[in-house]
Amino acid sequence: MSYPSGRHFLQIPGPTNVPERVLRAMSRPTIDHRGLEFAKLALEILEGLKEVFRTSGQIVIFPASGSGAWEAALVNTLSPGDTVLMFETGQFATLWQEMAGKLALDVRFVPGDWRHGVDPDALETVLREDRGHQIKAVGVVHNETSTGIASRMREIRKAMDRAGHPALLMVDSISSLGSMEYEHDEWGVDVTIAGSQKGLMLPPGLSFNAISDKALAANKTARLARSYWDWQAMMTPNRSGFFPYTPATNLLYGLQESLAMLRAEGLENVFARHARHGEATRLAVRAWGLEVLALNPAEYSASSTAVLVPQGINADEVRKIILENFNMALGNGLNKVAGKVFRIGHLGDFNDLMLAGTLSGVEMGLELAGVPHQTGGVQAALEYLTQVAQEARAHAAFQHA
């Protein structure tokens, strides 16, 4: 492509499009992070985040990518040799368990086919068999960004309760927070792991732990070595709005703005918008005669969709053609599904017309790349989006009548 005019379509499942409002907020001059103006900002954000995580408990913010918050969750609650139970739902679950192994934890990694989320029944069985309560923590990736599959958190919580097992529940909500329903308190999550670059609509660089009282209690006896990630070192200065080291001040300006945006739209509306875009995308994929990686409709992700390409086609070649011709980046297949899928991110600051543009780029790319398919995917998505809009108008008219 010669000069790529117009806006680049960043349709990977995170980092997501950063809205102008957030970019502008971040362009303000950096201030003294030991001054009162900063403390006011930090206190407001730490409080505001609670609405998004749906917790009344503690939240900490690390200047780090999401992986930092994975590590923080583990080192703050566990001791060397502790057993953790994780499930192979995809690439991010695989990376997290690798990290746990490197931290001298004893990982039980239940194999998976990358086409399903965590099976609540399998979880219950493993926990019931663990009569001596060797398993200290269960780690679940809520939304597997690598597969577009969301584990059923309510059922997972119930399975743990049925088994009567005391393990901590740690949940990676990196690509679900701020885009799909997430309930830290109600689901009895002990540590939630999140990052800035997806539903929170910020650039990468901030990560989060939301922490239950049970996790705080575990923290008192946890013996894994920790320094940078130490919750206590973070929480003590946080009480007055300060950090133990230099915070990412300008990202925090952005976060203040993105929290205001989420509040203005209303979380329920944010979730409904993502669900609508997930459904419209899957309708397009089906109309193309292609398949999504997720096999269980109860586990469809609202924030990203992995599309299988027919055998003999390299999904990365399709992505390359779409990037070169239409200036749109799609997510690549990772690890076991490398070359077999491309991923469409439909999360963050996104609307119906952006999705229409995204799906148009994919449909044209399928044609250019010689992928056997039927046309009409975009049309199927547009019809669905129109129908939802019509229903919303009818509903609004009824409310005002």
Binding site for ligand PLP (CB under 6 A): 14, 65-67, 92, 141, 145, 172, 174-175, 195, 204
Supply the DSSP symbol for 186: T
Instruction: Quote the least distance from Cβ 180 to ligand PLP, whole Å.
Output: 12
Nearer to ligand PLP, 86 or 287 (CB): 86
Nearer to ligand PLP, 38 or 92 (CB): 92
Structure tokens at 16: 């997501």
Question: 59: closest CA among 50, 70, 51?
Answer: 50
Question: Which residue number is nearest to ligand PLP in terms of Cβ?
Answer: 66
Nearer to ligand PLP, 193 or 290 (CB): 193
The answer to whether 341 and 309 have CB atoms below 8 angstroms apart is: yes
Nearer to ligand PLP, 65 or 325 (CB): 65
Farthest-apart Cα atoms in the chain, separation: 64
Give the angle 322-376-146 at the CA atoms, nearest 5°.
50
Nearer to ligand PLP, 302 or 366 (CB): 302
Nearer to ligand PLP, 271 or 288 (CB): 271
Task: Write the CB contacts of 256 (distance below 8 Å, at least 6 apart in sequence).
Answer: 25, 41, 44, 45, 48
How many alpha carbons lie under 13 Å from residue 17 in its C-beta half-sphere? 21
Instruction: Quote the least distance from Cβ 26 to ligand PLP, whole Å.
Output: 18
Instruction: Quote the least distance from Cβ 315 to ligand PLP, whole Å.
Output: 18
Instruction: Quote the least distance from Cβ 34 to ligand PLP, whole Å.
Output: 27
Task: Fill in the amino acid letter for 58.
Answer: Q
Please tell me the distance from the alpha carbon of residue 278 to that of residue 272, in angstroms, as a whole number.
10
Instruction: Quote the least distance from Cβ 157 to ligand PLP, whole Å.
Output: 19
- Please report, for the chain, how many H helices and E strands are present, in that order: 13, 14
Instruction: Quote the least distance from Cβ 142 to ligand PLP, whole Å.
Output: 8
